[in-house]
């Protein structure tokens, strides 16, 4: 099995790490971390990070700047462990030298959630969530990415359809080539066809020079057609012809060209209903829907809302370099239980951004910020803003207590076992992978509890 390792090191300096893979179940592929931070595609290939002492500052700056997250950090010096901003972006740490068994175990842990929906893929796609619907989606994306067939991604506005499309591309064999997005709803027929297939000089008014189309730019890669439901019948016909044989003719040209691309489309409408209404070509619909992926609405995965809130609040704090703010229990209850978020994750992100900026104190109480009461479901008792944040609904207080207990228990367990996750799982009576997810949930890095290993001086 291949595993991708990102680093700022020249490949020649990674010989020790490469040799360490002998006897493990994995074969390393090394990539320059900088090549994934130059464009958005960089956020989708995050797996394992290697950092040497001499490159620590450079890598740390890139990781922090682009908010990259890794399942495993491999390092060769204790100095790397002192870089708290860097290690805060990594779920687990392995310090070299390490034998093949230890390395194999660490790499296995990095991929340990694949059987229940890949947490690694979730990080790679930047798709935050741990609900059953998200895990099903990730399993489907992982499977779909293996097969080079058209994909139709369907879901409501703000559910992350383009993130899923990018995830499919960067997990596929076409990952080393371009992912080219096109917003079909933003272009007229003629402009869309010109954008897709290009044109020759003089093909139409103001066509003064040759233009290479997006289809050619996406050669060997993926062409993503967003809002495909907005295509007119004329544009649908042109795209159908291209999908059938991968051939096209630029406007004003007599030459027929070929481009090997994978087509991924996205829509927030019911294309089958549009077919029935005569608004979408039936033959194109069946061409596009060979593989079908649906992104769940946020109201269908409410258990993910606390994770999303934490994720976006951390991003906002980093962006404005401000101290963290907490949600008032009533505000959090309204966000997680009472409001349906018709705009889904995008609406939640923008709403948090707004109330964070407008809130003057360290606790965000929405009625104070927005000047309007919250619409709550059921007969909830609504404490006034003066009620201490430590008081609230019974279930909320219970959840806080459980979370504190889990964290303290895990910290004591790691101290007792010196960071040995296998031994900790045996003592606690939990499966090793389940315990690993709990450690990850509470941000506890098992490697920091292990006895320090002196760096190799050879």
The CATH code of the domain that includes 444 is 1.10.10
Band of the pLDDT at 113, cuts 50, 70, 90? very low
Q: What is the pLDDT of residues 272-288, one digit of tens each?
A: 999 999 999 999 999 99
Based on the domain organization, do 240 and 198 belong to the same domain? Answer: yes
- What is the C-alpha to C-alpha distance for residues 215 and 249, in angstroms, rounded to an integer? 11
Does residue 404 share a domain with residue 345?
no
pLDDT tens across 176-213, in order? 888 999 999 988 888 898 899 998 887 777 777 888 89
Is residue 352 scored above 80 in pLDDT? yes
For the chain, give the percent of residues with pLDDT over 70.
Answer: 83
Cα end-to-end distance, the chain, whole Å: 29
Residue that wins the pLDDT comparison between 289 and 142: 289
Which domain covers residue 373, as residue numbers?
Answer: 300-392
Nearest to 155 by CA among 228, 223, 237: 228
- Of 238, 262, 296, the last residue of a domain is 296
Instruction: Give the chain's length.
Output: 458
User: Given the structure tokens 């369907």, which residue do they identify?
Assistant: 154
CB-count exposure of residue 94 (10 Å: 0-12, 13-18, 19+): buried
Is the pLDDT reported for residue 444 higher than 70? yes
d(CA 108, CA 44): 20
pLDDT at 265: 97
Is 406 within the bounds of a domain?
yes
Whole-angstrom distance, CA of residue 144 vs CA of residue 141: 5
Among 92, 110, 128, the domain-final residue is 110
Q: What is the CATH number of the domain that holds 15?
A: 3.40.50.2300
The pLDDT value recorded for residue 433 is: 82
Average per-residue pLDDT for the chain: 81
Question: What pLDDT score does 300 carry?
Answer: 93
Confidence of residue 116 (pLDDT cuts 50, 70, 90): very low
SS3 state of residue 78:
helix
Please report the pLDDT score of residue 454 as a whole number: 40
Residue 335 CB-density burial (10 A; 0-12 exposed, 13-18 middle, 19+ buried): buried
121, 171 Cβ separation under 8 angstroms: yes
> What's the number of domains the chain is made of?
4
Q: What are the backbone angles phi and psi of residue 156, rounded to the nearest 5°?
A: -70, 165
Strand-pair category, 222-226 with 179-183: parallel
Q: Report pLDDT for 351.
A: 92
With cut-offs at 50, 70 and 90, classify the pLDDT of residue 30: confident
What local confidence, expressed as pLDDT, does residue 359 receive? 86
Q: Are residues 243 and 336 in the same domain?
A: no
The two three-digit tokens of residue 213, written as one number: 């189309």
Q: What is the CATH number of the domain that holds 386?
A: 1.10.8.60
Residues 275 and 335 grouped into a single domain: no
Lowest mean pLDDT among 46-60, 143-157, 209-223, 308-322: 46-60
Backbone angles phi, psi at 392, to 5 degrees: 175, -160
Give the pLDDT of residue 95: 83
| Same structural domain, 324 and 416 | no
Range picked from 126-140, 356-370, 417-431 for highest mean pLDDT: 417-431
**Which one of 126-130, 296-300, 403-407 scores highest in mean pLDDT?**
296-300
Q: Is residue 135 part of a domain?
A: no
**Domain shared by 266 and 304, yes or no:** no
Q: Are residues 246 and 364 in the same domain?
A: no
- Identify whether residues 173 and 271 lie together within a single domain: yes
Picking from 243, 276, 296, the residue at the C-terminal end of a domain is: 296
What are the structure tokens assigned to 336, written together? 């997680």
- What is the token pair recorded at 5? 């390792």
- In 3-state terms, what secondary structure has residue 248? strand
Instruction: Tell me the chain's radius of gyration from C-alpha atoms.
Output: 25
Residue 241 lies in a domain: yes
Q: What CATH number does the domain containing 273 carry?
A: 3.40.50.300
238 and 363 belong to one structural domain? no
Confidence of residue 379 (pLDDT cuts 50, 70, 90): very low
Stated pTM of the model: 0.60
Please name the residues in contact with 63: beta carbons below 8 A apart, sequence gap of 6 or more: 33, 49, 85, 86, 89
pLDDT score at 267: 97
Both 245 and 267 in one domain: the answer is yes
> Are 350 and 311 spatial neighbours (Cβ–Cβ below 8 Å)?
no
Those residues with Cβ within 8 angstroms of residue 124's Cβ, 6 or more apart along the chain or in another chain: 43, 44, 45, 46, 47, 167, 170, 171
Element housing 441 (H / E):
helix 432-441
115 occurs within a structural domain:
no
Q: Establish if 138 belongs to a structural domain.
A: no
Same domain, 268 and 206: yes
User: Does position 111 have pLDDT exceeding 80, yes or no?
Assistant: no
For 68-77, 143-152, 166-175, 245-254, which range has the lowest pLDDT when averaged over its residues?
68-77
Judge whether 450 lies within some domain: yes
Same domain, 236 and 325: no
* pLDDT top residue among 112 and 10: 10
Phi first, then psi: give them for residue 443, nearest 5 degrees.
Answer: 65, 30
128 domain-assigned:
no
| Residue 18 counted as domain residue | yes
């Amino acid at each position: 099995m291949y595993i991708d390792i990102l680093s700022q090191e020249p490949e020649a300096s990674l010989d020790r790490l490469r040799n360490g893979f002998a006897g493990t179940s994995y074969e390393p592929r090394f990539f320059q971390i900088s090549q994934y931070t130059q464009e958005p595609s960089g956020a989708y290939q995050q797996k394992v990070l290697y950092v040497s002492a001499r490159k620590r500052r450079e890598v740390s700056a890139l990781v922090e700047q682009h908010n990259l997250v890794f399942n495993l950090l491999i390092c060769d010096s204790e100095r790397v462990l002192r870089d708290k901003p860097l290690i805060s972006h990594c779920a687990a740490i392995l310090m070299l030298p390490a034998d093949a068994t230890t390395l194999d175990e660490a790499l296995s842990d990095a991929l340990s959630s694949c059987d229940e929906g890949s947490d690694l893929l979730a990080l790679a796609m930047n798709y935050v969530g741990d609900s059953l619907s998200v895990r099903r989606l990730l399993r489907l994306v992982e499977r779909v990415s293996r097969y080079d067939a058209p994909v139709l991604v369907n879901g409501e506005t703000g559910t992350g359809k383009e993130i899923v499309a990018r995830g499919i591309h960067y997990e596929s064999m076409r990952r080393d080539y371009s992912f080219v997005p096109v917003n079909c709803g933003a272009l007229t027929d003629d402009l869309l066809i010109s954008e897709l297939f290009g044109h020759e000089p003089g093909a139409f008014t103001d066509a003064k020079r040759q233009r290479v189309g997006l289809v050619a730019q996406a050669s060997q890669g993926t062409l993503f057609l967003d809002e495909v439901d907005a295509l007119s019948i004329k544009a649908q016909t042109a795209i159908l012809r291209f999908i059938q044989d991968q051939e096209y003719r630029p406007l004003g040209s007599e030459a027929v060209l070929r481009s090997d691309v994978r087509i991924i489309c996205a829509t927030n409408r019911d294309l089958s209903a549009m077919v029935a209404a005569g608004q979408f070509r039936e033959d194109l619909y069946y061409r596009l829907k060979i593989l079908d992926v649906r992104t769940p609405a946020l109201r269908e995965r409410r258990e993910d809302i606390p994770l999303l809130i934490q994720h976006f609040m951390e991003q906002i704090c980093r962006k404005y370099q401000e101290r963290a703010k907490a949600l008032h229990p009533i505000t959090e209850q309204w966000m997680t239980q009472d409001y349906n978020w018709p705009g889904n994750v995008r609406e939640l992100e923008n709403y948090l951004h707004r109330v964070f900026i407008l809130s003057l104190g360290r606790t965000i109480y929405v009625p104070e910020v927005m000047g309007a009461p919250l619409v709550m479901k059921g007969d909830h008792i609504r404490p006034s803003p003066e009620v201490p944040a430590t008081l609230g609904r019974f279930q909320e207080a219970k959840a806080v207590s459980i979370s504190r207990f889990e964290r303290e228990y895990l910290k004591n367990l790691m101290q007792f076992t010196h960071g040995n996750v296998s031994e900790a799982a045996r003592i606690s009576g939990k499966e090793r992978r389940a315990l690993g997810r709990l450690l990850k949930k509470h941000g506890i890095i098992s490697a920091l509890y292990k006895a320090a290993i002196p760096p190799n001086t050879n």
